[in-house]
Structure 1
Amino acid sequence: MKIEPYLFFDGRCEEAIEFYRAALGAELQFMMRNAESPEPPPPGMLPPGSERKVMHASLRIGETVVMMSDGHCGGDPAFKGFSLSLDSPDEAGARRLFGALADGGQVGMPLARTFWSPLFGMVSDRFGVGWMISVSAPPAA
């Protein structure tokens, strides 16, 4: 069994895909727009003008698949109560990832040494998605 996050971007999914491709080196595995669906949605289910919006997409970020869509959240995607944890093998990579995600976002905890990691920090990106960036602790001697 595995758990894969599914994020809803309230009309900004394509922008999020491009952001994560640039910031994290994410690889787009699949994307389907509403107009490309093999079955038309029930009448009234989609707002007018949403034909080009993303119905479903899958991104590979490292070894993880993150699924996403333009899902309608009433203007506030409200990414609350969770964060995505991203581990870097070294401090330079952690600083790069943290800086890229912080661009247009908000730092919750600056990168710093902790008792569990040589470098750890928390940031919410420009879409409000929370990220915890850490460096793998070296193995105990």
Structure 2
Amino acid sequence: MKVIDKLAWIELKDKTILSTKSFGKDKFYIPGGKRENNETDEQALIREINEELDVFLDKNSLNYIGVFEAQAHGHSEDVIVKMSCYSATYLGELKACSEIEEFKWLTYSDKDKVSAVDKLIFKYLKEKGLLI
């Protein structure tokens, strides 16, 4: 079994969740990405969010939410994604950058537009009353 280790930033507004779609992809994803070299969760997440959305996460506000695992979208069955999720406040104005084509605020009813691991996160947030 191959594991793709990823980090995700959970940003909620009015019980909706910020999601991004990369150029050429058919699903929206919770923003974040893969660790480079020996980056910590904090370093990787701050870097990825700055690259993708042109905002800076406040490292002092990082709050661990949990880890979610599921079949990796677009990969063979022996590949899973392990998503370590954090919330954090940010500075700046959200803007699609780098490989990001667009971002949207999604609700639980949009779960068909996201990957398997994001569906688990949507379900978790819905059960907590944080997502409509």
TM-score range, shorter chain: under 0.3
- TM-score calculated relative to the size of structure 2: 0.25
More helix by share: 2
Which of the two has higher C-alpha Rg?
1
Could you tell me the TM-score, scaled by structure 1's length?
0.24
